[in-house]
Amino acid sequence: MINRRRMLQATASLAVGGSCCLEEMLQAQQARANPVKITAVKTYLLKTELKRAFGVSISVPLDKTRSTLLVKIETDAGIVGWGETAPIMGTRGAIVDHLAGRLVGQNPLRYRHLLRQLWGRVFHDALAVGALEMALNDVRGKLLGKPVAELFGGRLRDKVPVYASAMNYLEGAEPEDHYPEEAVALVEQGYKALKMRLGRYSVRRESKIAASVREAVGPEIRLMADGNAAYSIKPALAMGDVLHELDFDFWEEPLPQDPDYAAYDVLREKLRIPLAGGEVIPERTTARRLLNRGAFDIIQPDISLCGGISEVLFIAELAALSQVQIVPHCWGGAILIAGTIHLLSLLPDPHWGYPTDTPLLELDRSENPWRTEITDRSFEVDSDGFIEVPTRPGLGIEVDEKRVKKYQVG
């Protein structure tokens, strides 16, 4: 005898298992029909000197350089795929010394098999897996003649709304002077949503700065603020109250992320404005723990930092069960932006009514040559504040390797 709950659990397990088995069977068929092999996995460490130092609240001193890590997967069919991640925490070594050898000689269309190999070899180095998963999707999309979104069941929308990730602290400038001017310029370019950095100065001073931006752009423009871990609970609450009164959409990561987003659940209970966070979540297990704790109103996983598109899709499903919205973090170049756009095209609206809370793309507007120079698409918004989902196979962009090597330092 089994009770109804156990029967339903067993049925659900069979359903999930059956779906995975069917997907693996389909991938096996695709691999047999396309006996292509991975021949090389290459990494490119890029670095540039900034024309003007900038940064967030905790950038002390302000950043004078910018770097990124690109990954290229080559195949014997002449098709290549690209991925991008942050060059920190030994990620390049994990790719070169441990993961590349597991991929060379394998068929890139055996996606689920390869993902399991990647996660198991480096103790869940999510940054390394994120870059390689992005590149694998680019390769298999090109092999199958499909954009990446079609590899995950097909997009739900043809274009995604965007918010400009802007208004950083600049060398030799006061935020009172350039934040409102920058905000107005972005609105004139078509942006309907903007995010600013706060936390470098007192709540009293920066309350006036936030108010000046709201006054400059008017009530129809959506505004957000990122505290970049510069606050303790009391000033985070004080600044949150100010942002609520100014009708900001959310207050992002005002407290330190480490250890384990401590006290975010406490802060969320006291805030009147939605609390966003989770950009450094490494994988689904951490996401589940934080969701169960009630740490966020809006969760922000990043495909380059937590294992790729498939992992963020899993986290999005977990978030939906808790009625937590997802607005992915995205701070990088055109490769990461393209992957995030495909992800956003797959994410459902958080309810069944008229879509007013469609997940937004974070588009970095600071100096960033990997966004503007190394691919054939630099991603600009249309007059309505949207970006179209790429429709060419793979990520839908072409990387100019000569321009990549212009910035390569290793």
* 347 within 8 A of 326, measured Cβ to Cβ: yes
The string of pLDDT tens digits covering residues 149-187 is 999 999 999 999 999 999 999 999 999 999 999 999 999
Q: DSSP letter at 96?
A: I
pLDDT grade for 22, boundaries at 50, 70 and 90: low
Instruction: Please tell me the pTM assigned to this model.
Output: 0.92
Q: Does pLDDT of 43 surpass 80?
A: yes
Give the gyration radius of the chain's Cα atoms: 21
Which of these ranges, 5-9, 120-124, 187-191, 226-230, has the smallest mean pLDDT?
A: 5-9
pLDDT grade for 17, boundaries at 50, 70 and 90: low
Residue from 60, 64, 65, 63 nearest 45 by CA: 65
Cβ within 8 Å of residue 132, ≥6 positions away: 41, 71, 73, 83, 95, 99, 103, 118, 308
> Whats the size of the chain, residue-wise?
410
Q: Walk me through the domains of the chain, giving residue ranges and CATH numbers.
A: 33-145 (3.30.390.10), 151-399 (3.20.20.120)
pLDDT grade for 100, boundaries at 50, 70 and 90: very high
* 400 within 8 A of 376, measured Cβ to Cβ: yes
Write down the pLDDT at residue 15: 45
* 389 within 8 A of 143, measured Cβ to Cβ: no
Write down the pLDDT at residue 2: 40
Q: Does pLDDT of 196 surpass 50?
A: yes
* 364 within 8 A of 162, measured Cβ to Cβ: no
Partners of 251 in the β-ladder: 225, 275
Residue from 121, 151, 118, 165 nearest 327 by CA: 165
Q: Does pLDDT of 212 surpass 80?
A: yes
Active site residues: 329
Cβ within 8 Å of residue 250, ≥6 positions away: 224, 225, 273, 274, 275, 276, 297, 298, 327
Q: What mean pLDDT do residues 312-332 have?
A: 96
Residue from 293, 288, 345, 342 nearest 320 by CA: 288
Residue from 190, 126, 136, 140 nearest 163 by CA: 190
Q: What are phi and psi of 113, to 5 degrees?
A: -60, -45
Q: Does pLDDT of 265 surpass 50?
A: yes
Write down the pLDDT at residue 18: 55
H/E run at residue 337: helix 334-346
Q: Does pLDDT of 5 surpass 90?
A: no
Report which residue type is found at 29. Answer: Q
Tell me what the pLDDT averaged over the chain comes to: 93
Write down the pLDDT at residue 57: 96
The string of pLDDT tens digits covering residues 369-382 is 999 999 998 888 99
Cβ within 8 Å of residue 58, ≥6 positions away: 199, 228, 229, 230
